[in-house]
Amino acid sequence: MSAEARFAPGDWYAVVGDHVTVLLPGSQRARVPTLWDLADSGADADAVLDALLAGGLSALDHFALVAHGADTTRLLVRGAPTASVSTADGDEIVSATPGTAWREHVVTGACSIRLTLSGDSAVEHALTPGLARVSVVEFSAPTVSAVAPRPAAPAHRSEEHPMLAVVPDPVPDPVPELAPAPAPEPEPEPEPMSFGEPEGDPAPTGEVPVVEDDWDRDGQTMAGRAQPDFERPPIPGQEIAPDVVSQPVASLVFSTGDVVSVDRTVLVGRAPEARRFASHDQPHVVTVSSPHQEISSTHLEIRPGAGADHGSAIATDLGSTNGTVLAQPGLDPEDLTPGIAVSLIPGAVLDLGDGVTIQVTNP
Protein backbone atom coordinates (compact mmCIF):
# COMPACT_ATOMS: atom_id res chain seq x y z
CA MET A 1 0.00 0.00 0.00
CA SER A 2 1.53 3.25 -1.05
CA ALA A 3 -0.55 5.28 1.36
CA GLU A 4 -0.81 4.97 5.07
CA ALA A 5 -4.23 3.68 6.06
CA ARG A 6 -6.21 3.41 9.26
CA PHE A 7 -9.62 2.02 10.07
CA ALA A 8 -12.41 1.83 12.59
CA PRO A 9 -13.83 -1.65 13.28
CA GLY A 10 -17.21 -2.55 11.81
CA ASP A 11 -19.06 -5.16 9.79
CA TRP A 12 -17.80 -4.34 6.28
CA TYR A 13 -14.97 -6.31 4.73
CA ALA A 14 -11.82 -4.52 3.71
CA VAL A 15 -9.75 -6.54 1.22
CA VAL A 16 -6.44 -4.75 1.24
CA GLY A 17 -3.76 -5.45 -1.38
CA ASP A 18 -0.60 -3.57 -2.23
CA HIS A 19 -2.29 -1.45 -4.88
CA VAL A 20 -5.99 -2.00 -4.49
CA THR A 21 -8.37 -1.96 -1.57
CA VAL A 22 -11.94 -3.27 -1.97
CA LEU A 23 -14.65 -2.60 0.60
CA LEU A 24 -17.72 -4.83 0.67
CA PRO A 25 -20.72 -5.15 2.98
CA GLY A 26 -20.73 -8.10 5.39
CA SER A 27 -23.33 -9.86 3.22
CA GLN A 28 -20.80 -10.13 0.38
CA ARG A 29 -18.58 -12.53 2.29
CA ALA A 30 -18.62 -15.05 -0.59
CA ARG A 31 -16.79 -12.64 -2.88
CA VAL A 32 -13.98 -11.96 -0.46
CA PRO A 33 -11.69 -14.99 -1.06
CA THR A 34 -11.44 -14.42 -4.82
CA LEU A 35 -10.79 -10.73 -4.37
CA TRP A 36 -8.18 -11.34 -1.70
CA ASP A 37 -6.45 -13.82 -3.99
CA LEU A 38 -6.23 -11.16 -6.67
CA ALA A 39 -5.38 -8.22 -4.44
CA ASP A 40 -2.66 -10.21 -2.68
CA SER A 41 -1.07 -11.25 -5.98
CA GLY A 42 -0.62 -7.58 -6.84
CA ALA A 43 -3.43 -7.40 -9.40
CA ASP A 44 -4.29 -3.96 -10.70
CA ALA A 45 -7.58 -2.16 -10.26
CA ASP A 46 -9.07 -3.37 -13.55
CA ALA A 47 -8.36 -6.99 -12.75
CA VAL A 48 -9.91 -6.66 -9.31
CA LEU A 49 -12.90 -4.79 -10.72
CA ASP A 50 -13.34 -7.54 -13.31
CA ALA A 51 -13.53 -10.16 -10.59
CA LEU A 52 -15.78 -7.99 -8.47
CA LEU A 53 -18.27 -7.60 -11.32
CA ALA A 54 -17.98 -11.16 -12.57
CA GLY A 55 -21.24 -12.09 -10.87
CA GLY A 56 -23.09 -9.08 -12.21
CA LEU A 57 -24.03 -5.80 -10.61
CA SER A 58 -27.51 -6.70 -9.47
CA ALA A 59 -26.34 -8.70 -6.46
CA LEU A 60 -23.79 -6.10 -5.50
CA ASP A 61 -25.63 -3.07 -4.15
CA HIS A 62 -22.73 -1.49 -2.34
CA PHE A 63 -18.99 -1.44 -2.72
CA ALA A 64 -16.02 0.86 -2.74
CA LEU A 65 -12.67 0.41 -4.44
CA VAL A 66 -9.54 2.45 -3.95
CA ALA A 67 -6.56 1.97 -6.24
CA HIS A 68 -3.28 3.72 -5.58
CA GLY A 69 -1.27 4.36 -8.76
CA ALA A 70 2.13 5.98 -9.11
CA ASP A 71 0.75 9.48 -9.16
CA THR A 72 -3.02 9.06 -9.15
CA THR A 73 -5.59 7.52 -6.90
CA ARG A 74 -8.67 5.95 -8.39
CA LEU A 75 -11.82 5.75 -6.35
CA LEU A 76 -15.06 3.89 -7.16
CA VAL A 77 -18.13 3.97 -4.96
CA ARG A 78 -21.47 2.25 -5.47
CA GLY A 79 -24.42 2.45 -3.15
CA ALA A 80 -23.97 3.50 0.44
CA PRO A 81 -20.27 4.34 0.86
CA THR A 82 -19.32 7.99 0.77
CA ALA A 83 -15.80 9.28 0.46
CA SER A 84 -14.43 12.59 1.48
CA VAL A 85 -11.34 13.40 -0.54
CA SER A 86 -8.88 16.06 0.55
CA THR A 87 -6.25 17.36 -1.81
CA ALA A 88 -4.12 20.48 -1.92
CA ASP A 89 -6.95 22.07 -3.92
CA GLY A 90 -9.57 21.46 -1.29
CA ASP A 91 -12.06 18.90 -0.06
CA GLU A 92 -14.68 16.98 -1.98
CA ILE A 93 -17.40 14.48 -1.16
CA VAL A 94 -17.63 11.53 -3.56
CA SER A 95 -20.71 9.31 -3.54
CA ALA A 96 -22.80 7.51 -6.14
CA THR A 97 -25.90 9.27 -7.40
CA PRO A 98 -28.92 7.02 -6.82
CA GLY A 99 -29.80 5.17 -10.02
CA THR A 100 -26.27 5.16 -11.40
CA ALA A 101 -24.00 2.12 -11.49
CA TRP A 102 -21.25 3.78 -9.54
CA ARG A 103 -19.25 6.93 -9.20
CA GLU A 104 -15.65 6.94 -10.33
CA HIS A 105 -13.24 9.61 -9.25
CA VAL A 106 -9.56 10.00 -10.10
CA VAL A 107 -7.32 12.15 -7.92
CA THR A 108 -3.94 13.27 -9.15
CA GLY A 109 -1.21 13.92 -6.64
CA ALA A 110 -1.24 13.49 -2.92
CA CYS A 111 -4.58 13.16 -1.23
CA SER A 112 -6.24 11.73 1.78
CA ILE A 113 -9.47 9.81 1.50
CA ARG A 114 -11.92 9.01 4.26
CA LEU A 115 -14.44 6.33 3.31
CA THR A 116 -17.50 6.09 5.50
CA LEU A 117 -19.24 2.73 5.17
CA SER A 118 -21.37 2.42 8.29
CA GLY A 119 -21.23 4.63 11.35
CA ASP A 120 -18.70 7.38 11.72
CA SER A 121 -16.18 6.29 14.32
CA ALA A 122 -12.63 7.48 14.76
CA VAL A 123 -9.99 5.51 12.88
CA GLU A 124 -7.72 4.07 15.51
CA HIS A 125 -6.16 1.00 13.92
CA ALA A 126 -3.51 0.70 11.24
CA LEU A 127 -4.83 -1.00 8.09
CA THR A 128 -2.23 -3.29 6.56
CA PRO A 129 -2.50 -5.63 3.55
CA GLY A 130 -4.89 -8.42 4.43
CA LEU A 131 -8.51 -8.63 5.49
CA ALA A 132 -10.26 -6.54 8.10
CA ARG A 133 -13.80 -5.87 9.32
CA VAL A 134 -14.27 -2.14 9.14
CA SER A 135 -16.80 0.68 9.31
CA VAL A 136 -14.58 3.61 8.30
CA VAL A 137 -11.31 3.58 6.36
CA GLU A 138 -8.97 6.48 5.96
CA PHE A 139 -6.03 6.70 3.57
CA SER A 140 -3.58 9.51 4.06
CA ALA A 141 -0.76 10.57 1.78
CA PRO A 142 2.59 9.02 2.81
CA THR A 143 3.87 12.37 3.97
CA VAL A 144 1.35 15.06 4.50
CA SER A 145 3.78 17.75 3.40
CA ALA A 146 2.84 19.03 -0.04
CA VAL A 147 6.46 19.10 -1.19
CA ALA A 148 7.43 15.57 -0.30
CA PRO A 149 5.54 13.52 -2.94
CA ARG A 150 7.28 15.12 -5.91
CA PRO A 151 10.86 14.02 -5.25
CA ALA A 152 9.52 10.73 -4.02
CA ALA A 153 8.10 9.70 -7.37
CA PRO A 154 11.27 9.89 -9.52
CA ALA A 155 13.27 8.28 -6.75
CA HIS A 156 10.91 5.36 -6.88
CA ARG A 157 11.34 4.98 -10.61
CA SER A 158 15.11 5.19 -10.56
CA GLU A 159 15.03 2.32 -8.15
CA GLU A 160 13.34 0.09 -10.65
CA HIS A 161 15.31 0.83 -13.76
CA PRO A 162 18.79 -0.16 -12.60
CA MET A 163 17.31 -3.41 -11.41
CA LEU A 164 16.07 -4.22 -14.85
CA ALA A 165 19.39 -3.18 -16.37
CA VAL A 166 21.50 -5.20 -13.98
CA VAL A 167 19.57 -8.40 -14.41
CA PRO A 168 19.11 -8.81 -18.15
CA ASP A 169 17.54 -12.15 -18.80
CA PRO A 170 19.59 -13.80 -21.55
CA VAL A 171 17.33 -16.84 -21.81
CA PRO A 172 13.92 -16.16 -23.29
CA ASP A 173 11.76 -16.99 -20.34
CA PRO A 174 8.85 -19.19 -21.38
CA VAL A 175 6.93 -18.43 -18.22
CA PRO A 176 4.78 -15.34 -18.65
CA GLU A 177 4.32 -12.80 -15.95
CA LEU A 178 1.96 -13.62 -13.17
CA ALA A 179 -0.06 -10.53 -13.83
CA PRO A 180 -3.70 -11.41 -14.54
CA ALA A 181 -4.83 -11.15 -18.11
CA PRO A 182 -6.55 -7.75 -18.20
CA ALA A 183 -3.35 -5.91 -17.21
CA PRO A 184 -2.65 -3.40 -19.97
CA GLU A 185 0.46 -4.53 -21.79
CA PRO A 186 2.26 -2.94 -24.70
CA GLU A 187 0.80 -5.27 -27.30
CA PRO A 188 2.04 -5.78 -30.83
CA GLU A 189 -0.58 -4.89 -33.46
CA PRO A 190 -2.82 -7.93 -33.97
CA GLU A 191 -5.06 -7.72 -30.97
CA PRO A 192 -7.51 -10.36 -29.91
CA MET A 193 -11.17 -9.58 -30.21
CA SER A 194 -12.36 -8.14 -26.94
CA PHE A 195 -15.65 -7.26 -25.33
CA GLY A 196 -13.97 -4.43 -23.46
CA GLU A 197 -14.61 -3.52 -19.88
CA PRO A 198 -17.96 -4.37 -18.40
CA GLU A 199 -20.07 -1.26 -18.44
CA GLY A 200 -22.55 0.02 -15.97
CA ASP A 201 -26.16 0.60 -16.90
CA PRO A 202 -26.13 1.72 -20.48
CA ALA A 203 -28.18 4.73 -21.37
CA PRO A 204 -30.60 3.96 -24.19
CA THR A 205 -29.72 6.20 -27.08
CA GLY A 206 -33.04 5.91 -28.85
CA GLU A 207 -36.16 7.69 -27.81
CA VAL A 208 -38.61 5.68 -25.82
CA PRO A 209 -41.76 5.61 -27.94
CA VAL A 210 -44.94 7.07 -26.60
CA VAL A 211 -47.12 4.49 -24.94
CA GLU A 212 -50.27 3.70 -26.86
CA ASP A 213 -53.02 1.55 -25.54
CA ASP A 214 -54.29 -0.29 -28.58
CA TRP A 215 -52.01 -3.29 -28.41
CA ASP A 216 -53.21 -6.77 -29.04
CA ARG A 217 -51.37 -9.90 -28.19
CA ASP A 218 -51.09 -11.99 -31.30
CA GLY A 219 -47.55 -13.31 -31.30
CA GLN A 220 -46.71 -16.95 -30.69
CA THR A 221 -43.33 -16.49 -29.11
CA MET A 222 -43.44 -15.75 -25.42
CA ALA A 223 -40.96 -15.38 -22.63
CA GLY A 224 -40.56 -18.24 -20.20
CA ARG A 225 -38.84 -18.59 -16.90
CA ALA A 226 -35.21 -17.53 -17.00
CA GLN A 227 -32.91 -20.47 -16.59
CA PRO A 228 -30.09 -20.03 -14.10
CA ASP A 229 -27.65 -21.55 -16.52
CA PHE A 230 -27.93 -23.32 -19.75
CA GLU A 231 -25.23 -25.88 -20.09
CA ARG A 232 -22.27 -25.02 -22.26
CA PRO A 233 -21.85 -27.21 -25.32
CA PRO A 234 -20.83 -30.18 -23.27
CA ILE A 235 -18.18 -32.69 -24.05
CA PRO A 236 -20.17 -35.77 -23.04
CA GLY A 237 -19.22 -37.21 -19.68
CA GLN A 238 -17.26 -34.22 -18.47
CA GLU A 239 -18.02 -31.85 -15.69
CA ILE A 240 -18.89 -28.36 -16.76
CA ALA A 241 -15.75 -26.28 -16.56
CA PRO A 242 -15.67 -23.05 -14.61
CA ASP A 243 -15.94 -20.17 -17.07
CA VAL A 244 -12.92 -18.25 -15.98
CA VAL A 245 -10.59 -18.81 -13.06
CA SER A 246 -8.92 -15.96 -11.25
CA GLN A 247 -5.46 -17.52 -11.39
CA PRO A 248 -4.22 -19.37 -14.48
CA VAL A 249 -3.67 -23.06 -13.74
CA ALA A 250 -0.93 -23.44 -16.35
CA SER A 251 0.89 -21.75 -19.18
CA LEU A 252 1.04 -23.16 -22.68
CA VAL A 253 4.25 -22.55 -24.58
CA PHE A 254 3.65 -23.18 -28.29
CA SER A 255 6.42 -24.22 -30.63
CA THR A 256 5.29 -21.25 -32.72
CA GLY A 257 6.38 -18.92 -29.90
CA ASP A 258 2.91 -18.12 -28.58
CA VAL A 259 2.48 -18.27 -24.83
CA VAL A 260 -1.07 -18.59 -23.54
CA SER A 261 -2.34 -18.72 -19.95
CA VAL A 262 -4.94 -21.31 -19.07
CA ASP A 263 -7.30 -19.10 -17.06
CA ARG A 264 -10.23 -20.09 -19.28
CA THR A 265 -10.86 -22.37 -22.22
CA VAL A 266 -8.11 -22.36 -24.85
CA LEU A 267 -9.03 -23.65 -28.32
CA VAL A 268 -6.22 -24.67 -30.66
CA GLY A 269 -6.48 -25.51 -34.33
CA ARG A 270 -5.86 -24.53 -37.92
CA ALA A 271 -9.00 -22.33 -37.93
CA PRO A 272 -10.63 -22.75 -34.53
CA GLU A 273 -14.30 -22.03 -33.92
CA ALA A 274 -15.42 -20.78 -30.54
CA ARG A 275 -19.01 -21.63 -29.79
CA ARG A 276 -21.50 -20.47 -27.27
CA PHE A 277 -19.52 -18.29 -24.95
CA ALA A 278 -20.58 -15.29 -22.89
CA SER A 279 -18.87 -11.92 -23.12
CA HIS A 280 -17.06 -12.58 -19.83
CA ASP A 281 -15.70 -16.02 -20.74
CA GLN A 282 -14.52 -15.51 -24.29
CA PRO A 283 -12.11 -18.40 -24.93
CA HIS A 284 -8.54 -17.92 -26.03
CA VAL A 285 -8.43 -18.97 -29.66
CA VAL A 286 -4.99 -20.01 -30.90
CA THR A 287 -4.58 -20.46 -34.64
CA VAL A 288 -1.59 -22.57 -35.72
CA SER A 289 -0.56 -23.06 -39.31
CA SER A 290 -0.63 -26.55 -40.71
CA PRO A 291 0.82 -26.72 -44.23
CA HIS A 292 0.29 -30.47 -44.43
CA GLN A 293 -3.26 -30.26 -43.04
CA GLU A 294 -2.34 -32.58 -40.21
CA ILE A 295 -4.05 -30.29 -37.72
CA SER A 296 -7.84 -30.05 -37.71
CA SER A 297 -9.72 -26.76 -37.74
CA THR A 298 -10.64 -26.97 -34.06
CA HIS A 299 -8.22 -29.64 -32.89
CA LEU A 300 -7.70 -29.44 -29.16
CA GLU A 301 -9.25 -27.83 -26.11
CA ILE A 302 -7.30 -27.04 -22.95
CA ARG A 303 -9.04 -25.54 -19.97
CA PRO A 304 -8.94 -25.27 -16.20
CA GLY A 305 -10.07 -28.54 -14.66
CA ALA A 306 -13.13 -28.94 -12.45
CA GLY A 307 -13.83 -31.36 -9.61
CA ALA A 308 -10.95 -33.75 -9.07
CA ASP A 309 -8.93 -31.89 -11.70
CA HIS A 310 -9.37 -28.53 -9.95
CA GLY A 311 -6.16 -26.53 -10.09
CA SER A 312 -4.70 -28.25 -13.13
CA ALA A 313 -5.19 -27.86 -16.84
CA ILE A 314 -7.02 -30.56 -18.74
CA ALA A 315 -6.71 -31.29 -22.45
CA THR A 316 -9.33 -32.81 -24.75
CA ASP A 317 -8.83 -33.81 -28.36
CA LEU A 318 -11.99 -32.58 -30.11
CA GLY A 319 -12.16 -35.45 -32.56
CA SER A 320 -9.27 -34.24 -34.70
CA THR A 321 -8.63 -36.15 -37.91
CA ASN A 322 -5.04 -37.05 -37.10
CA GLY A 323 -5.14 -37.07 -33.32
CA THR A 324 -2.98 -35.61 -30.57
CA VAL A 325 -0.02 -37.23 -28.83
CA LEU A 326 0.57 -36.41 -25.16
CA ALA A 327 3.94 -37.01 -23.50
CA GLN A 328 3.72 -36.56 -19.74
CA PRO A 329 6.97 -36.44 -17.75
CA GLY A 330 8.02 -39.96 -16.77
CA LEU A 331 5.30 -41.63 -18.82
CA ASP A 332 5.22 -43.13 -22.30
CA PRO A 333 3.64 -40.92 -24.96
CA GLU A 334 -0.04 -41.68 -25.48
CA ASP A 335 -2.66 -40.80 -28.06
CA LEU A 336 -5.45 -38.69 -26.62
CA THR A 337 -8.81 -40.40 -26.93
CA PRO A 338 -11.19 -37.95 -28.62
CA GLY A 339 -13.62 -36.40 -26.19
CA ILE A 340 -11.82 -37.71 -23.11
CA ALA A 341 -10.14 -35.09 -20.94
CA VAL A 342 -6.68 -35.76 -19.56
CA SER A 343 -5.14 -33.84 -16.68
CA LEU A 344 -1.84 -32.21 -17.64
CA ILE A 345 1.27 -32.25 -15.45
CA PRO A 346 3.74 -29.36 -15.76
CA GLY A 347 6.36 -30.45 -18.26
CA ALA A 348 3.85 -32.32 -20.42
CA VAL A 349 4.16 -31.88 -24.18
CA LEU A 350 1.22 -32.09 -26.60
CA ASP A 351 1.99 -32.87 -30.25
CA LEU A 352 -0.69 -31.80 -32.72
CA GLY A 353 1.16 -32.75 -35.91
CA ASP A 354 2.85 -30.60 -38.55
CA GLY A 355 5.62 -29.86 -36.06
CA VAL A 356 3.31 -27.96 -33.70
CA THR A 357 3.85 -28.82 -30.05
CA ILE A 358 2.58 -27.27 -26.85
CA GLN A 359 4.60 -27.44 -23.68
CA VAL A 360 2.71 -27.17 -20.40
CA THR A 361 4.44 -25.13 -17.70
CA ASN A 362 3.48 -23.71 -14.36
CA PRO A 363 1.70 -20.39 -14.70
Partner 1 sequence: MSNVDLHVDLHHGSSSDVGLVRKVNEDSFLAAPPVFVVADGMGGHSGGDVASRMVVDEFERLAEVYDPARGAELVAAALARAQACIVDYGDAHRALSPGWHAGTTAVVAVLVVDHGTTKWLLANLGDSRIYRITEGRLEQISVDHSVVQELIDAGQITVAEAAVHPERHVITRALGSPEGIEPDFFLLPLASVERLLLCSDGVTGMIDDAEIEEILLAVADPRDAADRLVRAAVAAGGRDNATAVVVDVVGLVKDASYDSQRQLQSLESKLGGRQ
Task: Catalog residues that contact partner 1 under the rule CB under 8 A.
Answer: 56, 58, 189-196, 199, 201-206, 208-209, 211-227, 230-231, 233, 236, 271-279, 282, 285, 287, 293, 296-298, 318-321, 337-339
User: Shortest Cβ distance from residue 324 to partner 1 (Å)?
Assistant: 13
d(CA 13, CA 29) in angstroms, rounded, equals 8
User: Shortest Cβ distance from residue 322 to partner 1 (Å)?
Assistant: 10
Contact indicator for 300, 322 with CB cutoff of 8 Å: no
Nearer to partner 1, 166 or 193 (CB): 193
Contact indicator for 164, 42 with CB cutoff of 8 Å: no
Half-sphere exposure of 51 (CA within 13 A, CB side): 27
| DSSP helix/strand/coil, 39 | helix
Nearer to partner 1, 72 or 289 (CB): 289
- Residues 6 or more apart whose CB falls under 8 angstroms from that of 186 comprise none
Nearer to partner 1, 114 or 284 (CB): 284
* Nearest to 37, CA basis, from 245, 250, 307, 244: 245
Nearer to partner 1, 61 or 71 (CB): 61
Q: Return the axis-axis angle of helices 32-40 and 45-53, rounded to nearest 10°.
A: 170
User: Shortest Cβ distance from residue 294 to partner 1 (Å)?
Assistant: 10
- Residues 6 or more apart whose CB falls under 8 angstroms from that of 169 comprise none
User: Shortest Cβ distance from residue 248 to partner 1 (Å)?
Assistant: 19
* Nearest to 303, CA basis, from 289, 290, 291, 318: 318
Number of C-beta neighbours around residue 114 at 10 A: 19
Nearer to partner 1, 171 or 211 (CB): 211
User: Shortest Cβ distance from residue 54 to partner 1 (Å)?
Assistant: 13
Q: What is the DSSP letter of 343?
A: E
Nearer to partner 1, 84 or 287 (CB): 287
- Residues 6 or more apart whose CB falls under 8 angstroms from that of 25 comprise 11, 12, 13, 61, 62, 63, 80, 117
User: Shortest Cβ distance from residue 289 to partner 1 (Å)?
Assistant: 12
Nearer to partner 1, 122 or 203 (CB): 203
Number of C-beta neighbours around residue 122 at 10 A: 8
d(CA 65, CA 291) in angstroms, rounded, equals 50
User: Shortest Cβ distance from residue 303 to partner 1 (Å)?
Assistant: 16
d(CA 295, CA 269) in angstroms, rounded, equals 6
Nearer to partner 1, 233 or 330 (CB): 233
Nearer to partner 1, 151 or 206 (CB): 206
User: Shortest Cβ distance from residue 297 to partner 1 (Å)?
Assistant: 5
User: Shortest Cβ distance from residue 290 to partner 1 (Å)?
Assistant: 9
